[in-house]
Amino acid sequence: MWDVAMFQHWQIRTLNAIAWISLASAGVGLFIGLLRAGEQSFITDVSIGMLTGVLIGFSCSCSEFFVFSNSRLRMARQMPLWQLLLLRTIVWCVCILAGMSLPNWLFGQPWQHLDAHFIENFAISAAIAFAFSSGIEISRLLGTEATTALITGRYARPRLENRVVLFADLVGSTALAERLEELQFHAFLSDVAQDFADPIYKTGGDVHRYIGDAVIVTWPLEKGVKNGASLNCALGMHRTLDRRASFYRTRYDTEPGIRVAIHCGQVAAGEIGDWKKEIALLGDTMNTTARIESAARDLGEQIILSDDLAKRLPDTLRTPIRVLPDYEAAGKQDKLTLWAVDPHL
């Protein structure tokens, strides 16, 4: 049930994004059509401009969401950066060329009667496509939230925010690292991170940091509890590794497992660093989440939620969770009330 809900939510977000991009592109095309419309062919020129915008926006956004940003298409995501930039630019240029040519054909305009600015428009569109492609890859390198925050200066000064925080830690990775060669272990961690990308993306999470064999994912509080997004992410991580178990057995002679801790609360968020900046999240919420992850190890559980998070989950998602004995965490004065979830429900 949770997998279906997560997929449906991702579908809605993706279709909404494609619709808004297409609408915005239609607006640009309409504006250009108005600027260049002739007196004798005003309606045709404006219609061609708007349709051109729709076709370019729709085809480029579909190729991005379903191919280049599709975490399940590993060939695209594992290409060297320059190859991916070049391939995306070529595909987008084809979309742009088709979007600029098809409306003229539909309105009975032969090839030789295409807009006199056709080559100029195509060159500008191709340059914009390359710029957007570069921006997308920079965003992937730094993280969507971090990229936006650094550009807008949102965290130039530290600020308090309410967030959901998820810690996911691989089980038995130390022994595996000793058994595998360094490069092979690195490839193993890369494959696991690639598998985690799908549930993180589909639940709207943002990777805050990779720390060795662990990953920290965050959501704004309302986003992380809405429809149980953070819990769905944890369940998705487990189920993805279960589904890919044969791959890991064949390549690494192991079946990876994870422990997941999820908590929510106030954090101090702000930029740290100079030549290499990052968005740091500090405070008791981060420390408590780490303690909850230790509790998962001590109690032999795979997914543990804090009481603060469990109380905020929708009623439909609270039924399968079970309360655990109060846990005395190191460095905490009060015992923690924790809840466990069976990842195979």
Cβ atoms within 10 Å of 131's Cβ, excluding its own: 11
pTM of the model: 0.76
DSSP string, 144-213: HHHHHHHHHTTTSS-EEEEEEEEEEEEETHHHHHHHS-HHHHHHHHHHHHHHHHHHHHHTT-EEEEEETT
Residue 115 sits in the same domain as residue 253:
no
- Tell me how many degrees the CA angle 209-264-308 measures, rounded to the nearest 5: 155
**Is residue 88 a contact partner of residue 73, using CB atoms and an 8 Å limit?**
no
Residue 179 sits in the same domain as residue 319:
yes
Decide if pLDDT at 306 tops 60. yes
Q: Six-digit token pair at 274?
A: 């100079």
Residue 168 sits in the same domain as residue 258:
yes
Residue 122 sits in the same domain as residue 164:
no
Q: Which domain holds residue 6?
A: 2-142
Residue 190 sits in the same domain as residue 250:
yes
Q: What is the DSSP letter of 341?
A: -
Residue 135 sits in the same domain as residue 168:
no
Using one digit for the tens of pLDDT, what is the confidence trace for 32-62?
778 877 777 788 878 888 888 889 889 888 8
HSE-CB for 196 with a 13 A CA cutoff: 27
Last residue of a domain, one of 98, 113, 142: 142
What mean pLDDT value characterizes the chain? 84
Last residue of a domain, one of 118, 142, 166: 142
The values of phi and psi at residue 212, to 5°, are 60, -115
Sequence-separated (6 or more) residues with CB below 8 Å from residue 31: 49
- On whether residue 148 sits in a domain, the answer given is no
Decide if pLDDT at 9 tops 50. yes
Residue 104 sits in the same domain as residue 229:
no
Using one digit for the tens of pLDDT, what is the confidence trace for 70-104?
766 666 666 777 787 788 888 888 888 888 888 87
**Is residue 60 a contact partner of residue 131, using CB atoms and an 8 Å limit?**
no
Residue 117 sits in the same domain as residue 203:
no
Is residue 229 exposed (0-12), middle (13-18) or buried (19+ Cβ within 10 Å)? Answer: buried
Residue 178 sits in the same domain as residue 134:
no
Domain of 192, CATH number, reads: 3.30.70.1230
**Residue 234: C-alpha distances to residues 19, 112, 201, 210 (Å):** 29, 57, 12, 16
What's the rounded Cα separation, in Å, for the pair 25 and 17?
12
Report the percentage of the chain scoring pLDDT > 70: 90
**Is residue 343 a contact partner of residue 239, using CB atoms and an 8 Å limit?**
yes
What's the rounded Cα separation, in Å, for the pair 29 and 45?
10
Domain count of the fold of the chain: 2
pLDDT band at residue 296 using 50, 70 and 90 as cut-offs: very high
Decide if pLDDT at 318 tops 70. no
Q: Six-digit token pair at 15?
A: 């279709």
3-state SS class at 221: helix
Determine which of 139-143, 206-210, 255-259, 327-331 has the lowest per-residue pLDDT on average: 139-143
pLDDT band at residue 1 using 50, 70 and 90 as cut-offs: very low
Residue 34 sits in the same domain as residue 122:
yes
- Residue (of 279, 306, 310, 309) closest to 293 by Cα position: 306
Average pLDDT estimate for 149-166: 88
Q: Six-digit token pair at 55?
A: 């076709």
**Residue 292: C-alpha distances to residues 148, 265, 321 (Å):** 30, 14, 16
- Residue (of 163, 87, 145, 98) closest to 125 by Cα position: 98
At 41 the pLDDT is 74
Report the percentage of the chain scoring pLDDT > 90: 35
The values of phi and psi at residue 311, to 5°, are -70, -20
Average pLDDT estimate for 108-121: 62
Higher local confidence (pLDDT), 285 or 130: 285
What's the rounded Cα separation, in Å, for the pair 22 and 255?
43
CA distance from start to end of the chain = 9
Cβ atoms within 10 Å of 40's Cβ, excluding its own: 7
Q: Six-digit token pair at 201?
A: 């993306």
Q: Six-digit token pair at 322?
A: 């079970």
Residue 200 sits in the same domain as residue 311:
yes
**Residue 304: C-alpha distances to residues 145, 168, 261, 293 (Å):** 26, 11, 5, 8
At 112 the pLDDT is 45
What's the rounded Cα separation, in Å, for the pair 174 and 19?
46
Residue 106 sits in the same domain as residue 168:
no
At 330 the pLDDT is 80
- On whether residue 149 sits in a domain, the answer given is no
Q: Six-digit token pair at 107?
A: 């309105």
